């Protein structure tokens, strides 16, 4: 039997969130943006380009790009998938396949990078790269050199000009 691709965070969940709050100065809010201190390097895009996507093709492409980037950046090690106020996971992206998810045959990743009503966060275990999806700003922040290297061009093509770089309003706007 193949090892599972992810597991729920148990007793370590609170410690992970405490560390995330502290390191990123996380300030959940429906009206004050950004909700984290966006690290350098980082790029934040509006997700408005996905609003008129009746077949979800662009959303699927966004998900594929981010998941592929996370798989590459993780180098077969685990990452964290955090869903604010809900179940969180430790994920081994390189293991994701039809026989390694629970239940077998279900979609492979436990979360999407698209913040569908909650903050969705992917992080390296040492927090050096990841994504932060903000449901009310309707944005996605991608950070860390290795993750940006593999995702930035495709996300720029898909989502357009970023709204922030390294936590500052992007001069490209």
How does pLDDT run across 17-66, given as a tens digit for each residue? Answer: 999 999 999 999 999 899 999 999 999 999 999 998 888 999 999 999 99
Give residue 137's Cα distance to chain centre: 15
Mean of the pLDDT values across residues 135-164?
97
* Domain spans, the chain: 1-9+36-135
What is the per-residue pLDDT for 54?
A: 87
What is the per-residue pLDDT for 93?
A: 93
How does pLDDT run across 68-116, given as a tens digit for each residue? Answer: 999 999 998 999 999 998 999 999 998 887 777 665 556 678 889 999 8
Mean of the pLDDT values across residues 113-140?
96
Residue 90: phi and psi, rounded to 5, are -105, 130
- Say what the pTM is: 0.93
What is the per-residue pLDDT for 136?
A: 95
């Amino acid at each position: 039997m193949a090892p599972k691709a992810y597991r729920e965070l148990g007793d370590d969940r609170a410690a992970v969130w405490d560390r995330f709050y502290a390191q990123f100065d996380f300030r959940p809010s429906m009206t004050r943006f950004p909700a984290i201190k966006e690290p350098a390097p980082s790029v934040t895009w509006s997700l408005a380009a996905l609003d008129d996507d009746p077949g979800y093709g662009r959303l699927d492409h966004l998900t594929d790009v981010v998941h592929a980037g996370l798989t590459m950046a993780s180098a077969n090690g685990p990452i964290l998938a955090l869903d604010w106020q809900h179940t969180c996971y430790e994920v081994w992206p390189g293991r994701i396949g039809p026989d390694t998810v629970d239940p077998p045959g279900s979609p492979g990743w436990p979360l999407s990078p698209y913040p569908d009503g909650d903050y969705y966060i992917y992080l390296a275990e040492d927090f050096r790269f990841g994504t932060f999806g903000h449901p009310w700003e309707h944005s996605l922040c991608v950070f860390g050199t290795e993750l940006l290297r593999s995702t930035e061009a495709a996300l720029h093509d898909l989502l357009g000009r970023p709204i922030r770089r390294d936590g500052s309003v992007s001069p490209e706007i």
